[in-house]
Amino acid sequence: MVSFTFLFTALAATVVSANPIQTLTERGISPGTGTHNGFYYSYWTEGVGSVDYNNGPRGSYKVKWTNVGNWVGGKGWNPGRPRKVAYNGTWNNYEVNSYLALYGWTTNPLVEYYIVEAYGNYNPSAGTEKLGTIEDDGGIYDIYKTRRVNKPSIQGTSTFDQYWSVRQVKRVGGTIDTQKHFDEWKKQGNLRLGSWNYMIMASEGYKSTGSSEIEVWAA
């Protein structure tokens, strides 16, 4: 994620007229965070382009993004913790720069983590050394670590690590045993997490146009 500046008055006006039945809060206008139908949601954009993010029934959300710089959002829990997560839905952004990932943060240390289920035309591990592999729900994930220097974070502009599991065979729908990933990150890469902050089943777009409809629940 990148920064918290956003022209959200303009977007709010557009979104409200598109569907006057839902309130701003229900539609997750932001950048912002909140609780919807018992799920935490977080929605963030660096402000370039437009994002029409809508919270739906249960743990679902639906989003369309157009010519964004960078945006990421979805539903899940806050705080996160090791748990089995299931999700389904539609994500069809294979030709553009986008991720579908179980995504979250910890503090002390400040870490941004991704369990990537599908990605588009950019593999987030490109050029990075593989630290190991994890088997989960019938698939193999590769482990990576990257470093972000003076980048936006949940604690403002900071320098922090990103931990990654990237599924070798992309998929949309299944279960993720996050405990396995957290344990193997530590065991195979000495990648340690801190105190739990939020954890969401996220869609992310980078310099792209795309859409998704995702539902998440505790498996």
Ligand X SMILES: *[C@@H]1O[C@H](CO)[C@@H](O)[C@H](O)[C@H]1NC(C)=O
Q: φ and ψ at 35, to 5 degrees?
A: -120, 135
Tokens representing residue 114 in the block: 């991704």
117 in contact with ligand X (CB under 6 A): no
Return the number of the residue (115 or 214) whose C-beta is nearest ligand X. Answer: 214
Return the number of the residue (142 or 215) whose C-beta is nearest ligand X. Answer: 215
Return the number of the residue (87 or 99) whose C-beta is nearest ligand X. Answer: 87
Distance from C-alpha of 35 to C-alpha of 78, rounded to nearest angstrom: 9
Tokens representing residue 116 in the block: 């990537």
Rule CB under 6 A: choose which of 30, 50, 60, 98 binds ligand X: 60
Rule CB under 6 A: choose which of 22, 88, 146, 211 binds ligand X: 88
* Residue 66 C-beta: closest distance to ligand X, Å: 21
Q: φ and ψ at 39, to 5 degrees?
A: -115, 145
Residue pair 180/139 in contact by the 8 Å Cβ criterion: no
Among the residue ranges 19-27, 46-54, 98-106, 210-218, the one whose residues contact ligand X (CB under 6 A) = 210-218
Strands of the 84-91 sheet, one edge to the other: 50-55, 60-66, 210-218, 84-91, 174-177
DSSP symbols for 49-89:
SEEEEEE-STTEEEEEEES-SEEEEEEEESS--S-EEEEEE
- In the bound state, the residue with its beta carbon closest to ligand X is 89
Distance from C-alpha of 174 to C-alpha of 171, rounded to nearest angstrom: 8
Known catalytic residues are 112, 204
Return the number of the residue (28 or 47) whose C-beta is nearest ligand X. Answer: 28
89 in contact with ligand X (CB under 6 A): yes
From the list 202, 201, 204, the residue with the least C-alpha distance to 217 is: 201
Rule CB under 6 A: choose which of 59, 101, 215, 216 binds ligand X: 215
213 in contact with ligand X (CB under 6 A): yes
* Residue 57 C-beta: closest distance to ligand X, Å: 8
Which residues bind to ligand X, rule: CB under 6 A? 60, 88-89, 213-215
